[in-house]
Structure 1
Amino acid sequence: MQHKFWFSLLLLFVMISGVKAQQNELPYTAINLQTLNDFKPTGANWKLVSDVFYDFNKGGGGSLKSGSGVLTNDLSGKSKDHIFTKMEHGDIDLELDFMMEKGSNSGIYLQSRYEVQLFDSWGVKDPKSLDCGAIYERWDDSRPEGRKGYEGHPPVQNVSRAPGLWQHLKISFRAPRFNAQGEKIANARFVKVMMNGVTIHQNIEVTGPTRSAAFQDEKPTGSLMIQGDHGPVSIRNISYKAYGIEPITLTNLQLKAYDGKFQSVDEFSTLTPKREMPIDVLAHLAPGSRDNFAGKITGTLHIPHTGEYLLNLHLRWIPAEVNTKVRNGAGELKIAGKKVVGVTTEDGGFVATKLTLPAGDYPLELAYYKNFGLWYARSNDILLSIEGPGVPYTTLNPVIRAEDPVSEIAVLAKNEPVMQRGFVNHQGTKHTHTISVGEPDLVNYTVDLRKGEFLQFWRGDFLETTPMWHGRGETQLSVPLGSVIERSGKPSLAFLADQNAAWPDSNATYNNLGYDVDKSGRPVFKYTLGTASVRESFMSANEGRKLAHSFTVTPATQDIWCRLAEGRDIVELPNGLYAINDKQYFIELPGKEKPVIRTTAKNTKELLLPVKAVNGAGTVTYSIVW
């Protein structure tokens, strides 16, 4: 039914403007972990605590800290129950953090039926369908021996972290579909599963409940279940977006096209269009129009549920980095005759807004113009995306264009260490003088040679270099293929007047001398700091579970220090390791060396170690464990 526009009911809030949007999706709903009220009654094994310690060296050595915020499965008693949410879901986007005890096994069951495996798979090189992140197999006792388990899907690569570290899981799940008679007409599907920032599954169909599911039937909705009978696991930060099956749609599209150069959308509002045509995608499709045109697209927007919506609009011929003094285009979106948002060159062609809409059908009008094109922004497409209550983020009527066929240009370290020079993105900044090193046991790292900074490390496959070599080489970047942990990007060594002196952002006396390659094929970086000569090296250890980092300084003086880590917090653990950034990774020191933990002016923590001189030379070695 066509709704009359009551502006008092259509509450518009323009939340975002400028070159880039700061908010591009609506917030998730959090499951409360201050109490267990969001869960159905369960066994005594499920507890709320404030912190957990699992020792990666041995199972059963965990300890719990009283409080709330972390849901943990404590199997020290007799209870081994699963836990179910009161919330029941169909289609869902789910995010959570989890931590495994050494050797432990658990699982997250969507609708209590379809499992994503949680397992201690630290260091596994060839993951199977029982490893962490796998979509677990189905089971049929009537099948022949060796084939009772079927349809299991291992992760495409193993990016599991060490027991005792927090890991992140993000799941997009599409529930099975049923007709009016209750008959299943479409299988459940894992649209996408990401673990520790890496996509490990896409579009995986499951034909029925996986092994050890709570139920063997299938339904449109069901509770989220966490397995409790296999091993200790801790969960926190559970949040979700649940969706219905009725979509937002944009139909009855008509394009009115105008020729000429324009400075505002008002200039062609009273003109007679040069041509009119029906369209089915959002793009300026008028024949012969490449530059110097304007258009009005009208259609009907169907809103399935009353509530707050987030809308993003991008005119793709206006790139973010365009010269804002030379306006090449702009646009304006109206819903039911009222302006919702405008987009300009100064916005970089992108703008977002929040608005509250009652369910119903609304007339939509999108007016825009383009005066000239740029070689790196040739598209005349328009991206209009919307997200709201019970509706996933949806790009309306997009143009589907075939990309230039090109295979991924990947660099992999198969049998020996591999080095790749190139550009690397670190904390949003392009570093142009970097070298990345990959080890055959899937441990990798990047160093900035111009500044002497250890930028990042990751476990998994090495690099994709397609952006470096395909076409014009835009964006010139080499991109890690595994799960990346970024460091702060400051020097590892510095001269300090005392242990309280601030750590410098850069070393003015740093002078890069290149690197040697040792017998194993690993680089040994050489540079000077003032009068001191430094040799710096990295080496994978413990079958890829650790990355050893070493320095030799000649001559070493009493005022040179090594900065091992920086993070929001640094905590010394009962096993002698140091947990960095809320248990993102560990620092391990040899022997009985005691580092300095201190607070910076930005209220972060630093872990420092003096470079002690012996016969004029000093060495520092530590290991990163993750």
Structure 2
Amino acid sequence: MRGVLLAGIALMYSTGISLAQSAAPQTAAIPLDNLSSFQNPGKSWQVAGDVTARLDKDNVLNVEEGTGILVNAPSKKKKGIDLITNFEHGDIDLELYYMMAKGSNSGIYLQGRYEIQLEDSWGVKKPTSANNGAVYERWDESRPNGQKGYQGYAPRQNVSRAPGLWQHLKISFQAPRFDASGKKIENAKILRAELNGVTIHENVELFGPTRGAMGSNEVAAGPLRLQGDHGAVAFRDIKITNYGKPRPELVNLKYQVYKGKFEAEPQYDNIPPEAEGTSVALTSDISPLRNDFLVRYTGTLRVKEPGEYTFNLNASGGNGLMRINNKVVVPIEGRDRKGTVNLPAGDMPFELVYSKIVEWGRPAIGIAVVGPGIREYLIGDPASGGNNDSQGPILVDAPVNTILRSFMDLPFPNKDGKRNTRVVHAVNVGSPEQVHYTYDMDNGNMVQVWRGGFLDATPMWYSRGDGSSRPVGAVQHLGQPAFTLAKLASPQAAWVADTAGTGFRPVGYDLDKADQPTFSYRVYGSTVQDAIRVADEGKGIRRELTVQNPGDNLYARLAEGKSIEAVSKDMYVVDGKSYYIRLDDAGGQKPVVRDSNGQKELIVPMRGKLSYSIIF
């Protein structure tokens, strides 16, 4: 092997370092104006402008004319076949949205050989390698019955959405590696897969093609393949980021260690080193000293692919400086240890200086790098995430109905528009069905629901803590915190923004025999009972509001979002097909979908009792 290869490869999102986007590889979308991006598409595939599914009918997608959505709707007349791209890929990041029909099954084959399973797995408690988001198993007919399938990987948790809702999938894939003779020297890997905002796979090694692959051989490049012979499925916003350009190499690496607490770079000729030698990697462990030392690395950076590179220096426990081609790329002063530079192909001088000056800090030297066609990776020590020893995660499960009160941060600007909104009287309610919600006691309303794991209480309980917890599963936010009930002069009047004139006062909550809460509060002189329960089979959340002696012009707001569309009688899909609202009993009142501040709202007059479900 020529020279010394850069070591300590890791994805940037596992180091916690954020890079400038200007150096990032280019991402391209697959055009979905027609089917010209694919080889010999079968009759079951079409391009559509919109698509919907039925919760009560298997394997059906209804389509509307237009472009932008890729739909597979196999039938007896239109036999489904797999759809294969015209292009081939090696290392890629793949990002897309997909929608499953009820009871449907499909898959995405990376390089045509490694399947990520797509399935209607709504409500599954213990996912397997056959469920949504799984790496499908390999298959060997020569093995005994019950053992023919092997090396499949279930997702870490089931965060699947209901049929007819868009699901968001992101995959970082590393292709297998081959030597000059064509012999495989490294297996393919799923570096990371994220479904609906939740990591479901990380550093999964693929030892060979999965069942149903287009070939038993493995290749450096192959097409993307969408399974089309199983069931109805739709895709949109398919984006590909290609990698595969050669990484820079660090060769002829030498080091010198100097004793002392150096706030600035010293004159090296005036001080003798405590230690010196050659090294195969950047690391703070090279120093024989624990504190108050400086390490200076020098060598040659060999660049094969010219272009713009961004270097993000991790210098935990101290300061750092980096020079390339005798020019400072990352200065020692300031907190932003990031630099972007255009580099030609060829060899150029490299220098990195690390000064350990924080007595209690954990030393670390590392450089996160991204360049043209080069996946983000790390040279040297991994980022420590700060100078303090880390702890966690501290996870709270919900094997039974569980309540934990905490602060809860939501991704909406607060009144000053600068930070996330913090719910300071949040009641987090977890269930063994793996369907959970957060109730805002200050507004008498749910602010979010989620599916999967319950809570990460690390920020609440570790060290001094900040009192907040975080959902572990796939979260559906229900909008900016606001009252459920309000008096409106007319159905077009703006929703109430604060407690003025409402007489709002939370009373607390009572638990039933199964430890499920019913919340109580007073508003407009009436007492409200708010009973929230997990729906059968974990298919959503059912809510029943009861108001004693409701006054005139009282309304309940059930949803807000960029869009609210009626999909059937008493059923609405909200915010670009993110979740459903089903009116179970409106007390004979007619719901209204209205415009408000650039959003849509679903409101209904309140006449004593109202029940509805959130299906997600």
- Settle same-fold status: TM greater than 0.5: yes
Pick aligned residue for 1:412 from 387, 393, 397: 397
Letter aligned with residue 368 of structure 2? S
2:211 aligned partner? 211
Bigger drift between 335-344 and 533-542 goes to 335-344
Residue 69 (structure 2) pairs with residue 70 (structure 1): yes
Q: Is 1:599 matched with 2:595? A: yes
Tell me, yes or no, if the aligned pair for 1:552 and 1:620 is still in contact at 8 Å: yes
How far does residue 455 in structure 1 lie from its aligned partner after superposition?
Answer: 2.2
Aligned to 1:326: none
State the match for 1:96 in structure 2.
96
Q: Provide closer, same or farther for how the CA distance between residues 356 and 595 of structure 1 changes in structure 2, counting only shifts above 3 A.
A: farther
Q: Which one of 369, 378, 393 corresponds to residue 376 of structure 2?
A: 393
Q: Once the 2 structures are TM-superposed, how far is the Cα of residue 458 of structure 1 from its aligned partner?
A: 0.5
2:347 to 353, 361, 373: 361
Amino acid in structure 1 at the alignment position of 2:398: A
The letter for the 2-side match of 1:585 is Y
Structure 2 counterpart of 1:59, one-letter code:
D
Computed over aligned residues only, the root mean square deviation of the Cα atoms, in angstroms, reads: 3.3
Q: Judging changes above 3 Å, is the alpha-carbon distance between structure 1 residues 60 and 338 closer, same or farther for their aligned structure 2 residues? A: same
SS at match of 1:468: helix
Residue type of the alignment partner of 2:611: T
**For residue 624 of structure 1, what is the aligned residue in structure 2?**
614
Aligned positions of 1:222-233 closer than 5 A: 222-233=222-233
Distance in 1 of aligned mates of 2:157 and 2:169: 14
* Identity within the alignment, %: 40
Aligned to 2:538, the other structure's residue is in SS state coil
CA contact (8 A) 1:49 1:70 kept: yes
1:85-234 mapped onto 2 (5 Å cutoff): 85-234=85-234
Change (3 A) 1:356 1:600: farther
Deviations 1:197-232 (A, max 9, x none): 222222333322211111122111111100111111
- 2:478 pairs, out of 480, 483, 487, with 487
Distance in 1, Cα, partners of 2:214 & 2:71: 20
Residue 513 (structure 1) aligned to one of 496, 504, 507: 507
The one-letter code sitting in structure 2 at the alignment partner of 1:579 is V
- Secondary structure of 2:380 counterpart: coil
Moved more, 58-67 or 217-226: 58-67
- Return closer, same or farther for 1:363/1:609 CA change in 2, 3 Å cut-off: farther
- The answer to whether the 8 A contact 2:245-2:305 is kept is no
Which of 603, 609, 623 matches 2:604? 609
2:584 aligned counterpart, secondary structure: coil
Aligned to 1:455: 447
Q: Secondary structure at the match of 2:67?
A: strand
> 400-409 vs 99-108, which deviates more?
400-409
Preserved CA contact (<8 Å) 2:284 2:295: no
Change (3 A) 1:224 1:314: same
Distance 2:89 2:18 in 1: 33
Q: Which residue of 1 is the match for residue 327 of structure 2?
A: 338
- For residue 519 of structure 2, the aligned residue among 521, 525, 531 is 525
Q: For residues 165-200 of structure 1, give each alpha carbon's deviation from its aligned partner in whole angstroms, at most 9, with x where no partner exists.
A: 000112122222222222223322222222112222
1:314 Cα deviation from its structure 2 partner? 4.8
Amino acid corresponding to residue 336 of structure 2 in structure 1: F
Structure 1 residues 343 and 539, CA gap change in structure 2 (3 angstroms): farther
With 510-519 and 22-31 compared, the bigger mean Cα shift is at 22-31
Alignment-derived partner of residue 10 in structure 1: none
1:59 counterpart residue number:
58
CA deviation vs aligned residue, 1:385-416 (integer Å, no higher than 9, x gap): 121223111122125779979775432222x3
Alignment CA distance shift 1:370-1:153 (3 Å): closer
Q: CA 1:425–1:43 in 2, change beyond 3 Å: closer, same or farther?
A: same
Cα 1:420–1:338 shift into 2, 3 Å = same
Q: Unpaired runs of 5+ in structure 1? A: 3-18, 318-328, 613-617
- Cα distance 1:438–1:235, how it changes in 2: closer, same or farther (>3 A)? same
Decide whether the 8 Å contact of 1:281 with 1:399 is kept in 2. no
Separation in structure 2 between the aligned mates of residue 101 and residue 536 of structure 1, nearest angstrom: 33
CA displacement 1:534-576 (0-9 Å, x = unmatched): 2222101121102012222233222332221222222221464
Is the Cα contact below 8 Å between 1:571 and 1:580 reproduced in 2? Answer: yes
**Secondary structure at 2:155's aligned position in 1?**
coil
Q: Tell me, yes or no, if the aligned pair for 2:366 and 2:383 is still in contact at 8 Å.
A: no
Distance, in Å, in 2 between the alignment partners of 1:125 and 1:246 is 43
Distance across 1 between alignment mates of 2:613 and 2:163: 16
Secondary structure (helix, strand or coil) at the match of 2:129 reads coil
Query: Does the 8 Å CA contact 1:190/1:203 hold for their aligned counterparts?
Result: yes
User: Residue 238 of structure 1 aligns with which residue?
Assistant: 238
1:47 aligns with 2:46: yes
Alpha-carbon contact 1:314-1:350 (below 8 Å) kept: no
Quote the offset at 1:110 in angstroms.
Answer: 0.7
| Corresponding residue for residue 12 of structure 1 | none
Q: Is the CA contact (8 Å cut-off) linking 2:59 and 2:104 kept in structure 1? A: no
Q: TM-score, normalised by structure 1?
A: 0.83
Q: Which moved more, 1:498-507 or 1:132-141?
A: 498-507
C-alpha distance in structure 1 between counterparts of 2:227 and 2:493, whole Å = 49
SS of the residue corresponding to residue 180 of structure 1 reads coil
Query: Cα distance 1:555–1:304, how it changes in 2: closer, same or farther (>3 A)?
Result: farther
| Contact residue 282 and residue 399 of structure 1 kept, 8 A | no
Alpha-carbon separation, structure 2, partners of 1:380 and 1:207: 36
Does 436-445 or 134-143 show the bigger shift? 134-143
Q: 1:26 to 1:339 in 2, by over 3 A?
A: same
Normalised TM-score (structure 2):
0.85
Distance change in 2, residues 1:39/1:417 (3 Å): same
In structure 2, C-alpha distance between the alignment counterparts of 1:557 and 1:308, rounded to whole Å: 65
Rate the CA distance shift 1:21–1:153 in 2: closer, same or farther, 3 A: closer
| Structure 1 residue 453 displacement after superposition | 4.5
Residue pairs, 1:462-477, within 5 angstroms: 462-470=454-462, 472-474=463-465, 476-477=467-468
Query: C-alpha distance in 1, partners of 2:290/2:458?
Result: 32
For residues 476 and 98 of structure 1, the distance between their equivalents in structure 2, rounded to whole angstroms, comes to 36
**One-letter identity of the residue aligned with 2:451:** R
Aligned residues: 581
Return the letter of the residue paired with 1:419. I
**Cα distance 1:561–1:111, how it changes in 2: closer, same or farther (>3 A)?**
same
SS in 2 for 1:181: coil
CA 1:527 to 1:213, structure 2 compared with 1: closer, same or farther past 3 Å?
same
Counterpart-to-counterpart distance in 1, 2:346 and 2:290? 34
Q: Once the 2 structures are TM-superposed, how far is the Cα of residue 100 of structure 1 from its aligned partner? A: 0.5
Letter in 1 for 2:44: N
CA-to-partner distance for each residue in 1:267-305, whole Å, 9 max, x for gaps? 7568845646456435597666747x7776544334342
